[in-house]
Amino acid sequence: MASTITLEQETNPWEAQSARFDFAARKLNLDPGLWKVLSSPSREIIVHFPVTMDDGRIELFTGYRVQHSIARGPGKGGIRYAPDVTLDEVRALASWMTWKCAVVNIPFGGAKGGVICDPRKMSSGEVERLTRRYTSEIIEFIGPEKDVPAPDVNTNEQTMAWIMDTYSMHMRQTVTSVVTGKPLNIGGSRGRKEATGRGVMVMCDKSLSYLKMKPENCRVIVQGFGNVGSNSARLLALKGYRIIGIAEYDGGLYNAAGIDIGKLLEHRERNGSIHGFKGAEAIDSAQLLETETDILIPAATENVVTSRNAERIRTRILVEGANGPTTAVADEILAEKGVFIVPDILANSGGVTASYFEWVQDRMGYFWNEATVIERLEEILSNSFDDVLRYAETHGVNNRIAAYMLAIDRVAFTIKQRGIYA
């Protein structure tokens, strides 16, 4: 597979996704026509829109919404705000959402959105105006039966509330099911915030069971301490895993005896950062990523494990809490080292599964308690892990390719059943 992508293309997420898709499609002997259909997004929306800033000047922003496939149901995928958002990145994330939803067998297709901006340099009012204008620009393409956005990098439940309100104002009625990841009091779901981290925990548990290892003997390093990383670390610590390292973009923490995650969360709440925590020593994040451990959880951004550091990664298990943290070239290196990888389209699918639950609850106007959400979430993810492992063993491929093959198979089967409209 590595031969299909050059080192220059390695960190381009769309190229990486395409390389894995092509490899899996070839293993499936996918029909050439369906190969063409599934190898390209069905719709790419680019909008350029003005926003009045606090000082009265007008800034022009660029936003994207890519719908990769809606064969199995409405598009589903987050919206991210960042200065380095690109169309290729959004394309890749949309396609990953297609495969992610198919792997866990929920009735969504894949979509993703993004706006090129730096919300850290913007006021709350500016971010709200940007959000509402972006929503109005893509409004004809989103909706409960069309495409359902969610939070992603630098967006949150408040962002989703603004999108829901803007959409509702245009529809002249309250439409809670247009987005997921909302506040509880306007149609959010219990258990949604922790869902991706809980899914990572399920994948760690299933991996240990498969490899005949025990949590109490298991060291864990988590890269990224945002929503996914912090909840993964907290839930794993509660189950007896020993969290020895936390890596952030500006430095990390290490304690071979284990970091008290509860106290670290309290420290961050007080100080706004993990730095200065007395229960661990400061360490360079790149160095921490290469420290020996039993489980490594990249839970931040893409392209964390590449050809430049894969050879020095020393872990038994890699559970991908983030989207696209391992490049296709790095995959080959890790495979040679015998690393057991739980790929992103399986490992971090807890978030979209809980989003599906929220969408269902909004549409029927009846909400579940947290225990019900957790029970149903863990059942779906546990079964999906087993499905991927069976596929890997049956076809003699690694877990990532097995997950892609399973997902592609499900989406292609649906398209064949529906037929090609002409």
Distances (CA, A) of 141 to 45, 65, 177: 9, 9, 14
**pLDDT of 161 above 70:** yes
Task: List the beta strands (DSSP E) in 70-197.
Answer: 75-82, 110-116, 147-151
How do residues 281-312 score in pLDDT, each as one tens digit? Answer: 999 999 999 999 999 999 998 889 999 999 99
DSSP output for 309-367: TGGG--EEEEE--SSS-B-HHHHHHHHHTT-EEE-HHHHTTHHHHHHHHHHHHHHHT--
Position 13 scores a pLDDT of 83
Query: Minimal CA–CA distance to 136: which of 42, 55, 65, 44?
Result: 65
What Rg value do the Cα atoms of the chain yield, rounded?
Answer: 21
Kind and range of the H or E run holding 252: strand 251-254
124: alpha, beta or left, given left = phi > 0 and alpha = psi -120 to 50? alpha
CA distance linking residue 332 with residue 58, whole number of Å = 48
The predicted-structure confidence for 32-59, as pLDDT tens digits, reads as follows 999 999 999 999 999 999 999 999 999 9
Q: Is 193 a catalytic residue?
A: no
Q: Identify whether the C-beta of residue 385 lies closer than 8 Å to the C-beta of residue 206.
A: yes
**pLDDT tens, position by position, 118-130:** 999 999 999 999 9
7 pLDDT band, cuts 50/70/90, is low
- Give the model's pLDDT for residue 189: 97
The predicted structure's pLDDT at residue 302 = 83
Residue type, 22: D
* pLDDT > 50? residue 3: no
Token digits for 234? 């907290």
Tell me, rounded to whole angstroms, the distance of Cα 53 from its chain centroid.
31
DSSP one-letter string for 29-74: T--HHHHHHHTS-SEEEEEEEEEE-TTS-EEEEEEEEEEEE-SSSS
Measured CA to CA, the distance from residue 349 to residue 344 in angstroms comes to: 7
Percent of the residues in the chain that have a pLDDT greater than 90, as a whole number: 92
Continuous segment of H or E residues that includes residue 281: strand 281-283
Predicted pLDDT of residue 192? 93
What DSSP assignment string belongs to 200-244?
Answer: HHHHHHHHHHHHT--GGG-EEEEE--SHHHHHHHHHHHHTT-EEE
Over residues 303-332, mean pLDDT: 93
pLDDT of residue 2 exceeding 50, the answer is no
pLDDT, residue 1, reads: 47
Structural domains of the chain, with CATH: 43-179 (3.40.50.10860), 195-347 (3.40.50.720)
* pLDDT tens-digit map of 337-362: 999 999 999 999 999 999 999 999 99
Give residue-wise pLDDT tens across range 76-98.
999 999 999 999 999 999 999 99
Would you state the structure tokens that stand for residue 250, as one six-digit string?
């500006």
Name the catalytic one among 112, 182, 193, 206.
112
Q: What's the pLDDT score for residue 91? A: 95
Confidence of residue 19 (pLDDT cuts 50, 70, 90): confident
Is the model's pTM score more than 0.85?
yes
Mean pLDDT, residues 244-266: 96
pLDDT at 8: 60
